[in-house]
Structure 1
Amino acid sequence: MEEIAALFDSRGQAIGRAPRSRVRAENLHHGATGIVVFNKDAQIFIHQRTWIKDVYPGRWDFTAGGVIQAGEIPDESAQRELAEELGIDSALHRLPDGEYSDEHTSYHAFRYWTVTTKQPILQESEVLQGQWTSVEELLARIREVPQEFMPDSIALFLPWLDGLRVVPPTS
């Protein structure tokens, strides 16, 4: 059965629902979550998306997350996505919401970060490979080859990451 996505307005209010295939085909404005995952060694987890993803296949990402399903609240969606993609169940810290739109996707972003003591367990259908890296190394790599990374994660999270003075954040 096809996933039914929650449609959102730019204020973060759910306004409807649509099959995921229609959301993609018509680039409907929906809700999505993004979670930056840190470990206790001040590293961030990055992963490469599989080649079968419907948006930006094969690109590297430094957030877990995904489309909010109809009837789901954002916090529940974020926890579900984090558990599905990386096998992690840890406390989420909320960041201010954001907006992202390009020719491939348009969504209201519910942004989070977390710290884990676990090694991620990758969901093979979504993630090809992953690794821990320092924030400095990630920022340098994005500056060098931005086309290898998810443009929405860059737009929504890079300014926050670049401004961190303590990694992982303390609040």
Structure 2
Amino acid sequence: MAKKRAAGPPPEMVDIVDAADKPLCILPLAEAHRQGLYHRSVMVLVYDGRGKLYLQKRAAKKSLYPGRFDLSATGHVKAGEARQDAAARELLEELGLRAPALTFVDAIDAGEDTAYEFVTLFSAGRLSTPPRPNPEEVSGGMFVDAAELAALVRDYRDLLTPAVVRFFERKSLFARTG
């Protein structure tokens, strides 16, 4: 007798890519992470009217960096999805926000320190609508200016995801607040 699969949402499918970011095949995200396969992710920066950056606090149930502060909205690029479309989707899913435009800011090649993800960073610019964190994804957040983030990176690095630290050190987070 065949074993029934537990009811639930279908697995999130992602493009598996080579070291040059060229698509090879499609697999479930969990399998990409389990095998350490190259795939793609996006991050979005959201600023308030004063130019402060929103840091989300990752939900406690997240498998990577639970409870740490991360960039405003983050997530994986689904199979066949454009990076900018993924960024807009994640912004809406995680923070309930729509941006009039998303601007490319920076990118990091995949490697062990990125969980084998090619990371693309976008900015939503300054938004007048406050974030409405989805409790399934985000357990809250805060707005910080460049000096406050510098203090967090210096004194409380273990409360931040590696992406926050890396993009801060690359001077990508406050270069354009739109």
TM-score (norm 1): 0.88
Q: 1:19 to 1:76 in 2, by over 3 A?
A: same
Question: Is residue 43–residue 73 contact of structure 2 (8 Å, CA) maintained in 1?
Answer: yes
| Separation in 2, partners of 1:63, 1:119 | 12
Question: Which region of structure 1 is more displaced relative to structure 2, 132-141 or 77-86?
Answer: 132-141
- Cα distance in 2, alignment partners of residues 13 and 19 from structure 1: 17
In structure 2, the CA distance between the partners of 1:93 and 1:83, relative to structure 1 (3 Å rule), is same
Task: Indicate which of 28, 43, 51 corresponds to 1:19.
Answer: 28
Structure 1 residues 129 and 103 mapped into 2: Cα distance closer, same or farther (>3 Å)?
A: same
Q: TM-score, normalised by structure 2?
A: 0.85
Q: Which residue number corresponds to residue 154 of structure 2? A: 143
Unaligned residue ranges in structure 2 (runs of 5+): 1-9
Q: Secondary structure at the match of 1:138?
A: helix
Structure 2 match to 1:111: 121
Residue number among 54, 58, 75 corresponding to 1:49 in the alignment:
58
More displaced stretch, 51-60 vs 9-18: 9-18
State the Cα RMSD in Å: 2.0
- How many residues were matched structurally? 167
For 2:168 and 2:20, how far apart are their aligned partners in 1? Answer: 18
Conserved in 1, the CA contact under 8 Å of 2:105 and 2:172? Answer: no
Work out whether 1:75 is the aligned partner of 2:78. Answer: no
Distance change (3 Å), C-alpha of 1:156 and 1:18: farther
Cα distance change of structure 1 residues 103 and 94 upon mapping to structure 2, 3 Å threshold: closer
Shift of 1:157: 4.6
Letter in 1 for 2:155: E
After superposition, give the CA deviation of every residue in 1:131-167 in whole Å (9 maximum; x if it has no partner). 1121210121111111111113322453224773xx6
List runs of 5+ in structure 1 lacking aligned partners.
none
What's the offset of the Cα at 1:25?
Answer: 0.9
- Identity among equivalent positions (%) equals 23
Alignment partners' CA distance in 1, 2:34 and 2:149? 32
Query: What is the CA distance between 1:100 and its match in structure 2?
Result: 4.1
DSSP 3-state at the match of 2:73: coil
Cα gap change, 1:122 to 1:2, in 2 (>3 Å): same
Larger radius of gyration: 2
- CA shift, 1:22, in A, is 0.5
